[in-house]
Structure 1
Amino acid sequence: MYSNIKVSDLIPMIEEEKMVLIDVRSPSEYNDFSITGSVNIPFFSDAERAEVGTLYKQVSVEAAKERGLEIISAKLPEFVRQFQQIKGEKTVFCWRGGMRSKTTATLLDLMNVHVHRLEGGIREYRKWVMGQLDRQESPFPVYFLNGLTGTGKTRILKRLQEEGYPVMDLEGMANHKGSIFGHIGAEPHNQKTFDALFVQQMRKLQNAPYMLVEAESNRIGKVVVPPFLSDLKDHSVQLIIDMPMEQRIQEILEDYNPWEHQQQCMEAFQRIKSRIHTPVAKQIEEDLQTGQFASAVRLLLENYYDSRYEHTGLQYDETKKKVLHVEDIDEAVRVIKETISQVNEKELLANQRF
Structure 2
Amino acid sequence: MFRDLTIDELLAVQAKGPHTFIDVRSPKEFNEATIPGSINIPVFNDEERAEIGTLYKQVGQEVAKDRGLEIFSQKLPDFIRAFKQIDTPMTVFCWRGGMRSKTAATVLDLMGIHTTRLAGGVRTFRQWVVHELEQEDFSPTFIVLNGYTGSGKTALLKMLADKGFPVLDFENLAGHRGSIFGQIGLEPSNQKKFDSLLVRELARLKQEPYVFIEGESRRIGKVSMPSFLFNKKETGVQLSVHLPVEERVKNILADYEPDKYPELFQEAFQIIKKRLHTPIAKQIEDDLAIGDFASVIKLLLENYYDSRYEHSGNQHTEIEYVHITANNLDDAFQQLLGVVERLELNK
Q: 2:311 maps to which residue? A: 311
Where do residues 222-237 of structure 1 align in structure 2 (5 Å cutoff)? 222-237=222-237
Q: Is contact 1:239–1:322 with CA below 8 Å preserved after alignment?
A: yes
Identity of counterpart residues, as a percentage? Answer: 50
Q: Is contact 1:22–1:39 with CA below 8 Å preserved after alignment?
A: yes
Amino acid at match of 2:216: E
Q: Is contact 1:188–1:221 with CA below 8 Å preserved after alignment?
A: yes
Change (3 A) 1:309 1:319: closer
Where do residues 17-36 of structure 1 align in structure 2 (5 Å cutoff)? 17-36=17-36
Where do residues 144-155 of structure 1 align in structure 2 (5 Å cutoff)? 144-155=144-155
Aligned mates of 1:337, 1:50 — CA distance in 2: 54
Change (3 A) 1:40 1:14: same
What is the Cα deviation at residue 43 of structure 1? Answer: 0.6
Amino acid at match of 2:116: H
TM-score (norm 2): 0.96
What is the Cα deviation at residue 314 of structure 1? Answer: 5.5
Q: 1:328 maps to which residue? A: 328
User: SS where residue 313 of structure 1 aligns?
Assistant: helix
State how many pairs are aligned: 347
Amino acid at match of 1:7: I
Aligned mates of 1:44, 1:119 — CA distance in 2: 20
Amino acid at match of 1:308: R
Q: 1:132 maps to which residue? A: 132
Q: Is contact 1:4–1:116 with CA below 8 Å preserved after alignment?
A: yes
Deviation per CA, 1:182-222: give whole Å up to 9, x if none: 11112211111111111111100011110100010111111
Q: Is contact 1:234–1:317 with CA below 8 Å preserved after alignment?
A: no
Q: Is contact 1:145–1:238 with CA below 8 Å preserved after alignment?
A: yes
Deviation per CA, 1:76-125: give whole Å up to 9, x if none: 22212221221121100001000000111111111111110001001111
Where do residues 88-127 of structure 1 align in structure 2 (5 Å cutoff)? 88-127=88-127
Change (3 A) 1:148 1:4: same
Q: Is contact 1:235–1:320 with CA below 8 Å preserved after alignment?
A: no
Q: 1:9 maps to which residue? A: 9
Q: 2:49 maps to which residue? A: 49
Q: 2:213 maps to which residue? A: 213
Q: Is contact 1:146–1:313 with CA below 8 Å preserved after alignment?
A: no
What is the Cα deviation at residue 17 of structure 1? Answer: 4.1
Q: Where in structure 2 are there 5+ consecutive unaligned residues? A: none
Q: 2:345 maps to which residue? A: 345
User: SS where residue 271 of structure 1 aligns?
Assistant: helix
Q: 2:244 maps to which residue? A: 244
Aligned mates of 2:14, 2:310 — CA distance in 1: 43
TM-score (norm 1): 0.94
Aligned mates of 1:47, 1:168 — CA distance in 2: 38
Aligned mates of 1:331, 1:11 — CA distance in 2: 42
Deviation per CA, 1:156-200: give whole Å up to 9, x if none: 101111211110011111111111011111221111111111111
Where do residues 193-212 of structure 1 align in structure 2 (5 Å cutoff)? 193-212=193-212
Change (3 A) 1:15 1:252: farther
Aligned mates of 1:282, 1:45 — CA distance in 2: 46
Amino acid at match of 1:68: G
Greater shift in the superposed pair: 26-35 or 12-21: 12-21
Change (3 A) 1:17 1:32: farther
Q: Is contact 1:25–1:94 with CA below 8 Å preserved after alignment?
A: yes
Q: Is contact 1:24–1:100 with CA below 8 Å preserved after alignment?
A: yes
What is the Cα deviation at residue 15 of structure 1? Answer: 4.7
Aligned mates of 2:189, 2:17 — CA distance in 1: 24
Aligned mates of 1:319, 1:54 — CA distance in 2: 57
Q: 1:352 maps to which residue? A: none
Deviation per CA, 1:262-317: give whole Å up to 9, x if none: 11111111111111112111111111112222111111111110111011135446
Deviation per CA, 1:247-268: give whole Å up to 9, x if none: 0111111111112211111111
Q: 1:285 maps to which residue? A: 285
Greater shift in the superposed pair: 333-342 or 176-185: 333-342
Change (3 A) 1:79 1:265: same
User: SS where residue 346 of structure 2 aligns?
Assistant: helix
